[in-house]
Structure 1
Amino acid sequence: MPENHIPEVRRQYETLPYPPRDPEDERKRLISTWLESLPMINHYCFGGRQSFGQGFRALVAGGGTGDATIYLAEQLKHTDATIVHLDLSDASNAIARERARVRGLSNIEWIRDSILNLPSLGLSPFDYVNCSGVLHHLADPDQGLHALRHVLKPDGALGIMVYAAVGRTAIYQTQSLMRLINGAEEDPARKIAATRDILGSLPPGNWFRRSQDLHHDHRMGDAGIYDLFLHSQDRAYTAGEIFDWFQDDHGLHLEFTDVARGRSPYLPHMVLGRKPPDRIAELRAMPRRKQYEVAELLGGEIITHSFYATSDDRTAAYGDINAVPFYFHEPLTGEIVARVFNTNRGQPFILNHENARLSVRVNPGRYGAKLLGMIDGNLSFGEIFDHFRAGWHGQAAAPSNEALFDDLRESYETLNAVDRLLLRHPS
């Protein structure tokens, strides 16, 4: 293994594969991973034009026990796509392979190796590369990113997750605490036992006790406790540092999307909710990067940064008359959304979204609720606008496409910010 790999890290994942998974559970449920939802990848990385056929290739680099690999393979099993699962842990690979066997998946190739060796493995380039929860465990994370880019097609996309510094403040305090308590102890079982003992006795003022609702790994058994509190190589980043690294140093375009919440926790006006301060207009006018830095500190609860990285901005464009809008991640229908956005009869209202932990003021516009009600996942914006004008009864001329796009913009941007309204091309 390359020197960049900390030997203790590899030993950890051989002894305690992470995340802990029982392959037999595949008979009962499919675990989805947020970044690997194909409609999301299509919207943010391929302008809504990716068919995921014609030899589509995906790499899961540092795939662990297989969550992202299995989810991709299940979604792509009726195509000619190939998924490559790469991980340095034999124990983790064994669990992932058994999960695939239980599901009857035959579209996965298995490699036991380090992501740092990718440039020398002779693999054909990939359309999509997932690397979730890996780079922050390397001695030199940037070397890992260079390795990932080496096997990525020029028009391909990265799906990345790294730890977030602000939301994990209490984690790093607890890691320091356990290093002091465990001292020279090397037995993982004894270190885990000591951690359990301390966690059960934390005083009320302890930062982890006061913020433990943000974290769940310690509830996943020994592997979760070790990964969260006892990891030998663990770093985190602020949103600004992600921009420094991926955008400034590597020239990549970034699209952030927090699990279940999209980019809403990175937008100050959404974080501040129903009673924003007087300066909210100034905050919304800030450059994107600065808004993200402000929002991360305002909210204080982003524990991981999940994002897509591409060589340029390839997000499906709002304003394209041929784009097909569709609701996603929840069983939403046009009728349901139209009813919500017409709560105040076309006037600004407070949109409450429990799953996204969002409460924000929205101006639906004159026609927004009706237009949202016509979205069915099949009609393009052009067809929706034509249907809208076909029923026009006003004395003035029916609004143009540009006017309807402008009127719908705030509603679209609000729903898109939580990734509940995405776009694809008709092809």
Structure 2
Amino acid sequence: MDQTTSKVKDMYEQYPYPSGEPTIRPGFDIRLLLSYVALKRDSNRPLEVLDAGCGRGPGVIGAASLQPKVNFTAIDINSVGLAEARENAKARGLTNINFIQADLMTLEGVDVPEGGFDVIYSSGVLHHLADPQVGLNNLTKILAPHGVISLMLYGSFGRQALYRLIEGINILSPKDDPIESRIPIGRLLSKAAEETIFKDTYLKSTYLNPDVEFVDTCLNVNEVSYDIADLWQFIEQANMKFVRWVEPDVWSIEKRFNDPELLDKLRELSEFEQYQVIERLFEIPKLDFIICGAGNNARERITAAEIGSCTLVVNPEASFFIEKRNQDQAQRIESVGYKVRHRKEQGVSDPILAQLILLLADQTISFSGEELIKVLSQSGVDREIASEVILDLLDEEIIFIP
């Protein structure tokens, strides 16, 4: 184990991260992640997923709880966090997670399934390695040809205020001092930042975080961060391809800007340049994205004419809101809405779309586009219009093609 990894290991075993109960993170559903790319699995074996840097296991336990037929391998260098994760999984009766202590710089001790892992998660981990590029390159070698890697790395532009605080802490309390002695000083300075660089930012109330969270955020012994240019180079050097952002709305000029003249100018830029503008104007501390191997590609958008022949599934990351009022021997629907991941709830006023949302809200198995078209045709909706509405559902990520 290299010296940097050893320091990171010691820090996280003293302050095992993250705190909190099992959670359902964006991108938890394996079928959904695999739907983003063109290549398909050629095997009926159970899906194999690697969580590369699981910590105390809240993410992998949440994902495994909802997907009992998927096999998860969860690795970390932190023996304390792994022990807690094993106990939590055992207490919940989960038998589809295998916890292994392993170093991402070598991956020694990790049993790779035949053909590679279908999906690899690594959230907030690679940027703490002695050499993040080595870590990513190692993960690409054990990824199945059809597979995807879901990564979260720190965004340098979105963390500038935090880095200013960290520099201040380092002046007051040198990095070589014991972490336990640096925490009180760090909290004092972080509290002072509430009225300056942290005001009205995501960092507000950082000084109140539990020790494990505060240490990870403000006193970490090793981390790097990335801007868009760095990120693109990082991906290319691993011989991988960018597929999409976990939440595309964060990086959409159409969602971020309203001025027509500005939008016209921005549309003249490449997507890469658009992302560079967005990272400079908005506070985005985390870069959540999905990549695939060089022999794979992002899946192309289908046309309305192809809807009928598609198999569709309701997105597990979509929530539905239906307000009903009971009357005398009757029931009236007051409102219909939906929400995808952490986006704002969207109300539905279009009667055709509302009809589909009501249908999808109770749908737990796959169905065909043709079935949806027939349902709408019974209400007098033209096939072409029905296909366009269903295509809108795909674009909004309420449904997806597995």
TM-score using structure 1 length: 0.77
Alignment-derived partner of residue 329 in structure 2: none
- In the TM superposition, what are the counterparts of 1:80-159 in structure 2 within 5 Å? 81-118=70-107, 121=110, 123-124=112-113, 125-159=116-150
- The letter for the 2-side match of 1:424 is I
TM-superposed deviation, 1:162: 0.6
Instruction: List per-residue Cα deviations over 1:302-324 (Å, max 9, x = no partner).
Output: 11111221122354844342131
Instruction: Give the share of equivalent positions with the same residue, in percent.
Output: 21
Relative distance call for 1:359 and 1:387 in structure 2 (3 A) is closer
How do residues 35-74 of structure 1 correspond to structure 2 at under 5 angstroms? Answer: 35-45=27-37, 54-74=45-65
Residues 121, 66 of structure 1: alpha-carbon distance in 2 compared, 3 angstrom cutoff: closer
Name structure 1 gaps, 5 residues minimum.
Answer: 342-350
Q: Which residue of 1 aligns with 2:218?
A: 229
What are the superposed Cα offsets for residues 136-160 of structure 1, whole Å, 9 maximum, x if unpaired?
1112111000111121111121111
1:263 aligns with 2:248: yes
Question: Equivalent residues in 2 for 1:156-235 (5 A)?
Answer: 156-183=147-174, 186-202=177-193, 204=195, 206-211=196-201, 213-214=202-203, 218-235=207-224
Question: Structure 1 CA distance, aligned partners of 2:357 and 2:42?
Answer: 25
Deviation at 1:84, TM superposition (A): 1.2
Kept in 2, the 8 Å contact 1:19–1:223? The answer is yes
Residue aligned with 1:95, SS: helix
Pair 1:185–1:15, CA change in 2 (3 A): same
Match of 1:33 among 20, 25, 28: 25
Change beyond 3 A, Cα 1:135–1:82: same
Distance in 2 (CA, whole Å) between partners of 1:367 and 1:247 is 44
2:317 aligned with 1:329, yes or no?
yes
Change (3 A) 1:52 1:289: farther
- Whether the 8 Å CA contact 1:69–1:85 is kept in 2: the answer is yes
Q: Per-residue deviation at 1:74? A: 1.3
From the superposition, tell whether residues 39 and 121 of structure 1 become closer, same or farther in structure 2 (CA, over 3 Å): closer
CA distance in 1, matches of 2:26, 2:204: 17
Partner of 1:347: none
Shift of residue 13, structure 1, vs aligned partner? 0.5
Asked if the contact 1:253–1:309 (Cα under 8 Å) also holds between the matched residues in 2, the reply is yes
Tell me whether 1:356 sits opposite 2:365 in the alignment. Answer: no
Task: Tell me the CA shift for residue 83 of structure 1.
Answer: 1.4
Provide the residue aligned with 1:15 in structure 2. Answer: 14
1:351-390 → structure 2 map (5 Å cutoff): 355-356=342-343, 375=360, 377=363, 378-390=366-378
Cα distance, 1:325 vs structure 2: 5.1
Contiguous gaps of at least 5 residues in structure 2:
325-332
Distance 1:85 1:95 in 2: 13
Does the alignment pair 1:313 with 2:312? Answer: no
- When the two structures are superposed, what TM-score results if normalisation uses the length of structure 2? 0.81
CA contact (8 A) 1:52 1:76 kept: no
The structure whose residues are more often strand, as a share, is 2
Matches within 5 A, 1:330-349: 330-332=318-320
Distance 2:183 2:31 in 1: 40
User: 1:375 deviation in Å?
Assistant: 4.3
Compute the RMSD of aligned alpha carbons: 3.6
Distance of 1:327 and 1:353 partners within structure 2: 8
Q: Secondary structure at the match of 1:36?
A: coil
Label 1:105 to 1:216 Cα distance change in 2 as closer, same or farther (>3 A).
Answer: farther
